[in-house]
Homo-oligomer: A and B are copies of this chain.
């Protein structure tokens, strides 16, 4: 059985940093309220930057960490919930900018956790030896869809892009995944291209701390792995309170969960790859360490991946 590995991670955050103090002033909020509620201190907005510019910059920041021949990138998969690029999709715009000649491109819409779907699809093409490297880019310009009057949503979300280059591992690595969708419950998180985002915070909170934990437990069971064998959990950064409750329910220390929501807010599909970049850069992960990625969000969509480094 072939195995895959992460070759490199990269990210891009737009120029404009929105701090809590600015939101406090705008909405007349009590100092410390936003952080207490969400854990978030700052987030970034793409004001005059396009979604494809952010995606391309994250792609370039990833590739320049490697010495691979970019013509060997056989697929670019973009995951987003905030694209206006119906055709060509963002993946094609990245292909054009990087001038990759032979490549398969597509964009995936699968809620906030499309990155997990893209990762699993990418793996299939690599283990089939059809493609040498796959570039996955999670990107959001979700600020465009925020209703300025919806304070609860406004304080949480941020724009950004994260990318992951995946290739074949030279030796066997553990891999397992558990991906499931719940269209029946999709009403709690919605966004149409011509309307604002709607979030039922209370229901999303419930979903975020129950279904995610059950999903991870099933993943561990499927792979015959104990939670103690996992070095880090890298979750979708939706809300610090959700992540803390996840830790409690999994009966693990909060430190075992990689958290960077304080700095960038909830960036939907960009959140896992951005967190992965930070985690790998920090040297906290070494070869053979096992991590779990867990994505959840609109759709509803939910998915986790167990990965050996």
Contacts and interface: CB of A to CB of B under 8 A. Distances in A.
Interface string A196-211: 0100000000000000
A95 B183 CA distance: 6
Nearest to A103: B181
Given A108-B108, A181-B103, A87 B121 contact: no
Interface string A80-94: 011111111101111
Nearest to A194: B84
A102 B184 CA distance: 11
B84 A193 contact: yes
Contact of A106 (B102, B117, B189, B192): B117
Contacts of A103: 180-181, 183
B117 A110 contact: no
Interface residues of A, number: 55
A85 B192 contact: yes
A193 B193 contact: yes
B181 A104 contact: yes
A182 B76 CA distance: 12
A151 interface: no
A296 to B, nearest CB: 13
Contact of A105 (B107, B128, B183, B189): B183
18 contacts: A85-B192, A85-B193, A86-B191, A87-B112, A87-B298, A87-B299, A88-B190, A89-B111, A89-B299, A92-B301, A95-B182, A96-B183, A99-B184, A103-B180, A103-B181, A105-B110, A105-B181, A106-B110
